[in-house]
């Protein structure tokens, strides 16, 4: 009988291995107490909303004395502090304090905590052909600076188009 015990034990061990009662190293999903955990779903950022940009006056030429450009203001009422990131494909932005008359010229991009900005173009370009203008606004949540979760995130976006009438009059077209 002793002769048959060794082959019987070997066959039993082979059957246990073939039935899947052991696992390869590193795969511990079915050990007792180690049930498989569902995957954590990825965090999805909220989709930015589209914001309308009010533009006044609807047409502008640098010879106008009543304004420094086309006033651009988003129709946005968020509750958290935000930054207004403006960019233009042609021309430049102007800050104008109407109470003291102070005018500050900016480039074709500006990041500001103030929602209102003016758009203009160089008077020396009058009489020259100019490209259509695309103004883009990205409203971003303000960066946290006191050690919290930092970085900016897009809250809303808006855009307008400015075309030309009689070569020098900028006209808001959409």
Predicted confidence at residue 29, as pLDDT, reads: 46
pLDDT at 31 (0 to 100)? 42
SS3 5: helix
Rounded distance, CA 49 to CA 47, Å? 6
CATH topology for the 49-172 domain: Immunoglobulin-like (2.60.40)
Q: What is the pLDDT of residue 164?
A: 97
> Is pTM, for the whole model, over 0.75?
no
Instruction: Calculate the dihedral angle through the C-alpha atoms of 143, 70, 174, 113, rounding to the nearest 10 degrees.
Output: 10
SS3 12: helix
Question: pLDDT tens across 122-156, in order?
Answer: 999 999 999 999 999 999 987 655 555 556 688 99
What residues have CB less than 8 Å from 103, skipping those under 6 apart?
Answer: 68, 94, 95, 96, 97
Q: Which of 44, 76, 64, 51 minimizes the C-alpha distance to 136?
A: 51
110 and 96 in contact (C-beta within 8 Å)? Answer: no
Q: Domains of the chain: which residue ranges? A: 49-172
The dihedral through the CA atoms of 108, 113, 119, 121 has a sign that is: negative
Task: Give the residue, 68 or 2, on which the prediction is more confident.
Answer: 68
pLDDT for residue 163 is more than 70: yes
User: How far apart are the C-alpha atoms of 122 and 115, rounded to whole Å?
Assistant: 23
Mean pLDDT of the chain: 80
- Mind listing the pLDDT tens digit for each residue in 53-101? 999 999 999 998 889 999 999 998 876 789 999 999 999 999 988 788 8
pLDDT at position 78: 73
Residues sharing a CB contact under 8 Å with residue 136, sequence separation 6 or more, in sequence order: 86, 87, 88, 157, 158, 159
Higher per-residue confidence, 123 vs 2: 123
pLDDT at 49: 82
């Amino acid at each position: 009988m002793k002769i048959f015990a060794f082959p019987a034990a070997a066959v039993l061990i082979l059957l246990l291995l073939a039935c899947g009662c052991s696992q390869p190293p590193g795969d511990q999903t079915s050990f007792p107490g180690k049930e498989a955990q569902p995957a954590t779903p990825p965090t999805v950022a909220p989709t930015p909303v589209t914001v309308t940009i009010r533009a006044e006056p609807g047409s502008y030429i640098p010879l106008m004395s009543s304004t420094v450009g086309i006033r651009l203001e988003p129709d946005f009422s968020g509750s958290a502090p935000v930054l207004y990131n403006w960019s233009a494909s042609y021309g430049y932005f102007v800050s104008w304090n109407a109470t003291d008359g102070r005018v500050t010229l900016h480039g074709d991009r500006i990041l500001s905590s103030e929602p209102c900005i003016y758009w203009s173009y160089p008077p020396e370009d009058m009489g020259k052909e100019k490209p259509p203008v695309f103004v883009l606004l990205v409203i971003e949540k303000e960066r946290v600076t006191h050690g919290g979760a930092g970085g900016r995130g897009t809250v809303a976006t808006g855009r307008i188009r400015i075309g030309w009438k009689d070569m020098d009059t900028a006209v808001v077209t959409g």
